């Protein structure tokens, strides 16, 4: 079992220079048993503090934390049955891999034979059996990472907490370890809470993702829902690479009107925008929803634009074209078959059916009535 519940949890720090810092602000969520949940957000948004409160390394200022239905507010870290893997791995440098992995169980006075069995089983799962006699300094970054995870597995805890575990690895190794962690989760069937500032890591690993900003939970949803139905402009801008394009436009009841283009609004969209007639709204367009009009079969509902293309980047399977629209930088993600050229005006079609709309005043998504 490993269900984690936050009920109106707030954590304040008293900082000499900054006064009271609200690191986590009234957070409520349930992480189900065996779920893989990623907590993502920019630096300083409260991710690590949330994790440390689950582990019991930090005491919340207000609210309750429950594990498997039991309030754990006053339970010490070692009594919570949780294993945490940090960014810097925190391996003991003077101990061998075997000693590092067995340390926790030795402290808990497990019988030697049982420790030996558990360490070898964890080493086998992580593919590090041949490294058991080495010291951490004799290992590569990836191997150290595997040892750190192996050490956490040995204890068979009810919850694993990962705090940016891959950020010290190079890009290729990071992808490899990402795949391994996903497989590990399937195999262990244990709850994992995974903190990262990297939205790609969160999107690829998390069954659900908690997006935080400034101590406040912005949205909790599976990856595809976050991408397709972000609740506000922050989530829309944080999730997705290249970043979503946004521009402020006006809706006159029939058409979207802006300096660089005007387009009739399809009937299906009118209901959604009905309370925004003659008001400013923010139009959000993902780069892949802008098409090269020369090579795309159009539906007739697109906004046609012909911006001056500034730069084209060739990425093998696709091309990224950069241009300005309504005075804002825009990116289009086109197939590599597009012949788009820089320093030329190019006919592009913006797919309004895929557009996101936000209230220009408060940044909330306009989902209609």
One of 2, 6, 37, 47 touching ligand ATP (CB under 6 A): 47
Q: Are 158 and 2 in contact (CB under 8 A)?
A: yes
C-alpha span between 289 and 274 (Å, rounded): 24
- Does position 57 interact with ligand ATP (CB under 6 A)? The reply is no
How does DSSP assign 146-206, residue by residue? HHHHHHHHHT--SEEEEESTTTTS-HHHHHHHHHHHHHHHHHH--EEEEEES-HHHHHHH-
Contact status: 291 vs ligand ATP (CB under 6 A) = no
Size of the site for ligand ATP (CB under 6 A): 13
Q: Report the C-alpha gap between 224 and 222 in whole angstroms.
A: 6
Among 5, 9, 45, 132, binds ligand ATP (CB under 6 A): 45
Which residues are registered as beta bridge partners of 294? Answer: none
Segment 347 to 366, residues that bind ligand ATP, using CB under 6 A: none
Which of 45/101 has CB closer to ligand ATP?
Answer: 45
Q: Which of residues 183-222 bind ligand ATP (CB under 6 A)?
A: 197
* Nearer to ligand ATP (CB atom), residue 48 or residue 143: 48
Tell which one of 3, 27, 46, 355 touches ligand ATP (CB under 6 A): 46
Shortest distance, position 208 Cβ to ligand ATP, whole Å: 18
State the nearest-atom distance from the C-beta of 59 to ligand ATP, in Å. Answer: 12
Question: Does an H or E element contain 225, and which?
Answer: helix 223-228
Q: Which is nearer to ligand ATP, 51 or 265 (CB)?
A: 51
Give the strands of the sheet with 303-305, arranged side by side. Answer: 290-292, 348-350, 303-305
Return the residue of 49, 245, 247, 338 that touches ligand ATP, per CB under 6 A: 49
Residues recorded for the chain? 369
User: Phi/psi of residue 136, each to 5°?
Assistant: -50, -35
Query: Within 17-36, which residues bind ligand ATP (CB under 6 A)?
Result: 21, 23
Residues forming the site for ligand ATP (CB under 6 A): 13, 15, 21, 23, 41, 43-49, 197
């Amino acid at each position: 079992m490993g269900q984690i519940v936050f009920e109106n949890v707030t954590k304040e720090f008293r900082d000499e220079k900054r006064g009271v810092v609200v690191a986590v602000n009234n957070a409520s969520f349930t992480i189900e048993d065996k779920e893989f949940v990623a907590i993502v957000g920019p630096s300083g948004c409260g991710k690590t503090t949330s994790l440390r409160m689950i582990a019991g390394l930090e005491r919340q200022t207000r609210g309750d934390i429950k594990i498997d239905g039991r309030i754990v507010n006053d339970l010490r870290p070692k009594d919570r049955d949780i294993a945490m893997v940090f960014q810097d791995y925190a391996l003991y440098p003077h101990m061998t891999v075997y000693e590092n992995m067995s340390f926790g169980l030795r402290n808990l006075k497990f019988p030697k034979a049982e420790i030996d069995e558990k360490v070898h089983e964890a080493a086998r799962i992580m593919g590090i059996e041949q490294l058991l006699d080495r010291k951490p300094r004799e290992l590569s970054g990836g191997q150290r990472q595997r040892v750190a995870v192996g050490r956490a597995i040995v204890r068979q805890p009810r919850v694993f907490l990962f705090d940016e575990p891959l950020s010290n690895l190079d890009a290729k190794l990071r992808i490899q370890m990402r795949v391994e962690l996903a497989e590990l989760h399937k195999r262990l069937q244990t709850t994992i809470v995974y903190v990262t500032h990297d939205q790609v890591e969160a999107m690829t690993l998390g069954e659900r993702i908690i997006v935080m900003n400034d101590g406040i939970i912005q949205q909790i949803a599976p990856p595809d829902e976050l991408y397709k139905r972000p609740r506000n402009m922050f989530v829309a801008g944080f999730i997705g690479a290249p970043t979503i394009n946004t521009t402020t436009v006006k809706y006159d009841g029939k058409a979207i009107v802006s300096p660089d283009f005007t387009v009739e609004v399809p009937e299906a969209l009118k209901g959604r925008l009905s309370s925004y007639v003659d008001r400013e709204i923010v139009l959000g367009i993902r780069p892949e929803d802008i098409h090269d009009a020369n090579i795309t079969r159009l539906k007739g509902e697109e906004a046609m634009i012909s911006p001056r293309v500034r730069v084209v980047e060739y990425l093998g399977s696709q091309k990224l074209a950069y241009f300005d629209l309504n005075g804002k930088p825009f990116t289009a993600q086109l197939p590599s078959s597009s012949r788009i050229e820089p320093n030329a005006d190019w006919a592009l079609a913006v797919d309004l059916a895929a557009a996101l709309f936000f209230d220009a005043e408060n940044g909330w998504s306009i989902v209609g009535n």
